[in-house]
Amino acid sequence: MGVNPVNFGVPPILRVRDLRKAYGQILAVNGVSFTVDAGTIFSLLGPNGAGKTTTVEILEGLRLPDAGEIELFGEEVQRVGRTQKARIGVVLQDGAFEPLLRVHEVLNLFRSFFQKGQDPAALLELVGLADKARALVKTLSGGQKQRLALAIALLNDPELLFLDEPTAGLDPQARRHIWGILESLRAQGKTIFLTTHYMEEAEALSDWVCIMDHGKIIAEGTPRELVSRFGPATFVEFETPTAISPLSTCFAGRLRQDGERMSLEVEDLGRDLSALLSWAAEQNVPLRNLVIRQPNLEDVFLSLTGRRLRD
């Protein structure tokens, strides 16, 4: 387990040790341990079926772990109960609201579940849904529903927010709007526990990232650390309509093809790029849209697991 250095010295808001959960013979969460510091954005990354939603649902009090220790708000708990739920906010991946209630009715309903909290109207302003207060939930778009989910998660003024795929299925504009809200929440000192399979989201927002696969944490660190530790050196990407088998021999194991788009992983950019260009000139092969790209978390995941995150 790595040491989250963001708020070093400040007691963590959440600490998980050796968490386990099985469904029959399937081990969904297999000895997961991590620490979340207060006031940070912590991202749990992994492909579908990696065990991240089960992990989060245990931490939200929706499922019971089979084994492991959870320390939340400085207290060790067997399971997350009402006391802890009053201090956390939740956006579920597959959560929904009564479609025949109006937006303000849903907010007032959820507000009644908490002893203390924020003004629902102010939260609607914050997420940009003030003009939809009287609309039925079923008439909202996907992005508006996600923003409503976020407003509801903030109703009890939570210290820790669990956001499970909060931008899944949203267009880039709606996604950036939510990113902006999350950044402002972090600036207010809120802690955000984010699960996502959007790499650019994790890279843009996270202070600390855990990568999960097959129920285990396989790497963790800041996004920059992970890329420098596990990422390949550089990528040269280009498109070519020509057969590439001779090139595959030349760069064995380092060339990936996605349709016409080729991606070449290079250790020594000068030497490998020169070799590629020479080969293309000799074979009279056109290399269109050639770009040199630095590796990202997606590449880290690929190099660690051999699979793409969204597979």
Partner 1 sequence: MKAVLTLAAAFMRTSLRERNALFWFWLFPLVLLGLLGAIFGAVERGELHVDIALVNGDSGPLGHELIGFLHSVIGENARFVYIQEGNGEERLASVREDVEEARVHAALLIPPEFSRQMSAGIPTRIEILYRRGEAGSSTAASLLAEALEEFGRNYLFQSGGLAKAVEAQTCLVGGEARTVSYVEFVLPGVIIMAFFIAGIFNVPNAIVFAKEVGILKRYLATPLLSWQYFFAFFLSALFLSLLQGGAVWALGRFAFGTRLPLLRPASLAFLLLAFATSVALGLLISALAHTHQGAMALANLFNLPLQFLGGLYFPITSLPKPLQILMAVNPLTHLAEGLRAALGLSARTFPAWANFLVPLLWLGVSVFLAVRRIHILGET
Binding residues for partner 1 (CB under 8 A):
23-24, 60-64, 82, 85-86, 90, 92, 94-98, 100-101, 105, 108-110, 112-114, 136, 156
Q: Tell me the DSSP string of 285-303.
A: ---EEEEEE---HHHHHHH
Quote the least distance from Cβ 23 to partner 1, whole Å.
7
For residue 211, count other CB atoms closer than 10 A to its CB.
Answer: 26
Q: In what order do the strands lie in the sheet with 75-77?
A: 26-36, 14-23, 67-72, 75-77
Can you tell me the distance from the alpha carbon of 84 to that of 293, in angstroms, rounded to the nearest whole number?
44
* Residue closer to partner 1 (CB basis): 62 or 204: 62
Does residue 197 contact residue 165 with C-beta atoms inside 8 Å?
Answer: yes
CB 7 within 8 A of CB 57: no
Distance in Å, CB of 251 to partner 1, minimum: 47
State the minimum distance, in angstroms, from the CB of residue 70 to partner 1.
Answer: 16
Quick one: 5 or 81, whose CB is closer to partner 1? 81
**Hey, what amino acid is at 134?**
R
Least distance (Å) from partner 1 to the CB of residue 188? Answer: 21
Q: Name the token pair of 147.
A: 């923003």
Closest CA to 258 of 280, 277, 235, 275: 235
Q: Say how far apart CA 203 and CA 296 lie, in whole Å.
A: 8
Of the pair 6, 62, the CB lying nearest partner 1 is at 62
- Nearest residue to 4 via CA among 29, 35, 31: 35
CB of 282 to partner 1, least distance (A): 58
Instruction: Tell me the closest approach of the beta carbon of residue 65 to partner 1, in angstroms.
Output: 12
**Comparison of 40 and 53: residue with beta carbon closer to partner 1:** 53
Q: How far is the CB of 145 from partner 1 (least distance, A)?
A: 12
The rounded radius of gyration (Å) of the Cα atoms in the chain is 22
